[in-house]
Structure 1
Amino acid sequence: MRMHTSTWLKRVVPLTLCLLVSGGCSSSDDEGRSPSGDAGTDIPDGGGNPPDGGPVGTGCMGETFLASVGKNRLLVGAQMEDSTAAGAPFDVHYLYVASGLVDSTNICTSCTTGCTTSGTSCAGASCAWWGCWQDVSQPPGAYVRGHVSGAKGRQQLPFITYYQQLLGGVGPAREGEQQLQSLNDVAIMRRYFADWRFTLQQVGSERALLHIEPDLWGYLQFFARNGDPATVPAQVASANATDCSGMANNAVGVSKCMIAMARKYAPNAKVSLHASPWSTRTDVYLNTNASFDIAGEARKVADFLLKLGAADTDFIVVEASDRDAGFYDSVGEDTWWDANNATLPHFRQAFTWASAISERLNKPNFWWQLPVGNMNLPNTNQKWKDNRVDYFFSHTAELAAAHSVGFSFGAGEGRQTSPETDNGNLSSRVSAYKRAGGQAPCAP
């Protein structure tokens, strides 16, 4: 199975190139600052109403969402091989769509004739476009079509993480500001919107969960002038008159166009943007200051997402870490959360942040790409220690109280622990969770 392997920004790092927005660059004066009450962007944290009259929710959001996908207990899922998905009672099977784009503005109708990425023919199943990761004699798109049909056959929900803007636009070496510049390249965006349309068409009328561009919205908040995504130019109506002719040519138009396209081409899917814990220039998951306003920082992220159109989505995706804590130990970084919730950073701090995101958006949250490692592993390649699997399964009532509707596990990089290398721990925990009856949403 192909896997996304670029390193994702999970803490503030120096970036020097200027985002080409009207009026100049966003300030980076607060990079490296210790968390404090005013750390982060200049968007008011507000205890008041979100921008543009957006929603505020504190009731039970999860029950309605779960009922809409035919469930009444918190969902559990993973990125995994089909055999693993078939071997335990997972609710959700997630898949990355992360690749290059085809060279043409028209999506290939055949992998063997006239289909190229970066000049490389897809005829030999060796090109970088996901649409031809298959038997090339068949029509393109089986990578997603097969995932959707396979999950349905196992009575699981297919979950698709669409992560194309970086790899299709500028490549992993230019992640960040330069990535955002590609939003304003009409040639790239024509190919990008065509690829998103084709992805959605492979889902069609089936029930699915769609996760749009993790990291992109975080970078937009990180770099946008005055915390306003409308200041970031992008080619939207000019690049996709078919679906989004009336939408603004800026980053707000990008997100709203993608949401609208999902409604048009995959009408039974549930749609989500992504909330990044570092997008305010303070990584809240690593905070060690007990007086820091975690909920206030979350509201800044949620208010930015509302400007992008999050009110028109169905749920919000959150995450913990893209790599196992044991792996990060091996490269000199401490990313552990205290399972006793006595010393920061800890799990309840992260759950507080996710809960506040949901309450500001009035959307339930779904935990994605949680590390798969466990404390019985030897801290070697693909077998790293981590405590998230065991904590999440042992504290599902805390998740429900934080407006979560599900949690899923997967490696964010090829050297990490996976459900196939964890000595069966994740599958065993899933089976035990289901035998116990699962977790009802919105626990007190």
Structure 2
Amino acid sequence: MMVDSARKLSLAVACVTALAACGGDDKPGVNAAGGSSSSGGSIAGGSAAQAGTSSRAGAASGGAPPIGGGKSSAADVARKLGREPHFLIGMGNDLPGDFKWENSGIYKLGAPLDLHYIYLVNGWQDWNPGGYFPQIIGGVDKGKGATPMASVYAITGQGENNFAVLVDDAYMTKYWETAKLLMQRYAELEVPAVVHLEPDFWAYAQQQSGGDPTSVPAHLSPECADLPADLSGMARCWFKLARTHAPQVVIGLHASEWAAGSGTDVGGFLNKLGAAESDLVFIDMLDRDAGCFEAGQLDICKRGGTFYLDETNQTSPNFAERLSFAQQVSTATGKPILWWQVPFGVPSDTPGGTPGHFRDNKVHYIFNHIQELVDAGGLGVAFGVGAGEQTTPDTDGGQFQTAVQGYYAAPVPLP
């Protein structure tokens, strides 16, 4: 790798890891949560033994894709990804600063996680010559048996409600060139991959458009001249580029709770965008550890509210409400759900915490209630930090590693 390219990648890794509001940016009030913590008990599975009996992805390792299993849309997507049709676990935003990608956080857990995601922000195509960054990381994932995944976070990086950028010829020309480039680079891997489209953006779009995507103009790729030049055409253009240039890619939009009054409303808007042509829908729970907001020490955690969810599901907001929203979205769109960028915090009865050691209970709850996520239409969950100084698997006392090792000893099948 050339020196200039290495510098660009170094900046990119640092920037993406420390982004203060990069995807999954829950708004004030959405996460007002009460209730007691449930810090006792063990993570589901409980065993720290290596899960050597869990099979790897057939397609990711070059073999035939898995067959059998359930008949749900979630099971179908898992099989398209070359995974066994069980509830998928992933991790991301974990790239090391020394460019030794095989040492990414996901590969230090001693468990065969299914998905590995990276962020692609504006300018990613210049991080190294030829725009090979996603293929480089994806190549490591392929060798390790994980499915590559990219979260594209570009439009909102130009401003949260800056819809003028959608008709900026210079920007949109480059935008669509890089969208096609991403598909080409993933196609060259010759294995399935996942593309997650523009978290946050579709929520702003729903609010800005009053729920009518045809009211917001957007310039499209020349390959999408047959599509309407508006928000609906924009989403469908992404789907078309994927089907044309990388048919093995699984692709979907992002649903945010704060976009509208219910999951049914949010799912309805995604349908207007063309969600029927996609494969899945992504949802986030919170983009930081709950304790980071409680402590209020960091500038990136200054939003008001109470953010620690009630595991007993007696006090609102709680996990049952989160899953109800997801189920509404899944029912409205007919697509399975992949929860994304779920934080790593460890349960505690004491609010707050310190940088690198903030409390949260999502890992604890999820691994003890995976069937609830499956019943809500879930395909899987991808864990990751949404900003710097959050709890990570290196600082959580082994919570996440123990959880995933226990899970892969007996993965939960998809219906």
TM-score normalized with structure 1 length: 0.72
**How far did residue 418 of structure 1 move?**
2.4
1:102 — aligned with what? none
For residue 411 of structure 1, report the CA deviation from its aligned partner. 0.7
| Whole-Å separation in 1 of the counterparts to 2:278 and 2:125 | 26
Q: What code does the residue aligned with 2:268 have?
A: D
Deviation at 1:150, TM superposition (A): 0.8
Alignment correspondent of 1:44: none
Whole-Å Cα distance in 2 between the matches of residues 411 and 327 of structure 1?
Answer: 12
The answer to whether residue 307 in structure 2 is matched with residue 344 in structure 1 is: no
Shift of 1:142: 3.1
**Post-superposition CA distance 1:193-237 (Å, at most 9, x none):** 111111221111431111011111111101113x1010011112x
CA RMSD of aligned residues (A): 2.0
Aligned mates of 1:259, 1:215 — CA distance in 2: 18
Identity %, equivalent residues: 30
Aligned to 2:305: 333
- Determine whether 1:355 maps to 2:323: no
Distance in 2, matches of 1:373 and 1:143, equals: 29
Matches within 5 A, 1:80-229: 80-81=94-95, 82-83=102-103, 84-87=105-108, 88-89=110-111, 90-99=113-122, 129-134=123-128, 139-167=129-157, 170=158, 174-175=159-160, 177=161, 179-204=162-187, 205-225=190-210, 227-229=211-213
Is 1:440 aligned with 2:413? yes
- Counterpart-to-counterpart distance in 1, 2:126 and 2:177: 15
Deviation (angstroms), 1:184: 1.7
1-side partners of 2:286 and 2:331: how far apart? 22
CA displacement at 1:344 relative to structure 2: 0.8
| Aligned-residue offset at 1:192 | 0.8
**2:403 maps to 1:429:** yes
**Contact 2:88 2:379 (8 Å CA) reproduced:** yes
Distance 1:420 1:265, change over 3 A: farther
Output aligned runs, 1:264-275, within 5 Å.
Answer: 264-275=244-255
Mapping of residues 215-254 of structure 1, within 5 Å? 215-225=200-210, 227-236=211-220, 240-241=221-222, 243-254=223-234
Structure 1 residue ranges without an equivalent (≥5): 14-30, 32-58, 100-128, 283-296
SS at match of 1:278: helix
1:215–1:147 distance in 2 versus 1, CA, 3 Å: same
SS at match of 1:140: helix
- Greater relative contact order (CA < 8 Å, ≥ 6 in sequence): 2
The 3 A distance-change label for structure 1 pair 306 and 413 is: same
Match of 1:375 among 342, 347, 360: 347
| Equivalent of 1:10 in 13, 26, 30 | 26
Contact 2:77-2:250 within 8 A present in 1 as well:
no
TM superposition shift of 1:12: 5.9
Kindly indicate whether the alpha-carbon contact (under 8 Å) linking 1:206 and 1:266 is maintained by their aligned counterparts in 2. no
Distance 1:273 1:420, change over 3 A: same
Task: Return the alpha-carbon distance in structure 1 between the equivalents of residues 168 and 398 of structure 2.
Answer: 46
1:66 corresponds to which residue? Answer: 78
For 2:278, the equivalent position in structure 1 comes to: 313
Deviations 1:257-283 (A, max 9, x none): 111111112110111111111101x5x
Counterparts of 2:265 and 2:125, CA distance in 1: 37
Contact 2:195 2:250 in 1 (8 A): yes
Structure 1 runs (4+) deviating above 3 angstroms are: none
Give the Cα separation in 1 of the matches to 2:199 and 2:318. 23
User: For this pair of structures, how many residues does the alignment match?
Assistant: 337
Q: For 1:418 and 1:244, locate their aligned partners in 2 and report how far apart those are by CA, in whole Å.
A: 41
Provide the C-alpha distance between the structure 1 equivalents of 2:124 and 2:169, rounded to a whole number of angstroms: 22
Alignment partners' CA distance in 1, 2:208 and 2:179: 24
Q: CA deviation at 1:85?
A: 2.0
Please say if residues 80 and 248 of structure 2, whose CA atoms lie closer than 8 Å, have aligned partners that are also in contact: no
Q: Which structure has the larger Rg over C-alpha atoms?
A: 1
Q: Using the alignment, how far apart are the partners of 2:146 and 2:20 within structure 1?
A: 28
* Alpha-carbon separation, structure 1, partners of 2:268 and 2:106: 36
**Could you tell me how far 1:60 is from its partner in structure 2?**
3.1
Deviation, structure 1 residue 419? 2.8
Pick closer, same or farther for the CA change 1:335–1:269 going to 2, 3 Å: same
SS across alignment from 1:86 = helix
Contact 1:231–1:250 under 8 Å retained in 2: yes
Distance 1:400 1:166 in 2: 30
Pairwise CA distance, 1:404: 0.4
Which protein has the bigger helix share? Answer: 2
One-letter amino acid of the counterpart of residue 380, structure 2:
G
Corresponding position of 2:241: 261
**Offset from partner CA, 1:282-308 (integer Å, 9 cap, x none):** 5xxxxxxxxxxxxxx211111100110
CA distance in 2, matches of 1:380, 1:343: 26
SS of 2:308's partner is coil
The 2-side partners of 1:404 and 1:374 are apart by 23
Amino acid paired to 1:216: F
Q: Kindly provide the CA deviation profile for residues 23-74 of structure 1, in whole angstroms up to 9, marking residues without a partner as x.
A: xxxxxxxx9xxxxxxxxxxxxxxxxxxxxxxxxxxx8332222222231211
Instruction: For 1:424 and 1:432, locate their aligned partners in 2 and report how far apart those are by CA, in whole Å.
Output: 12
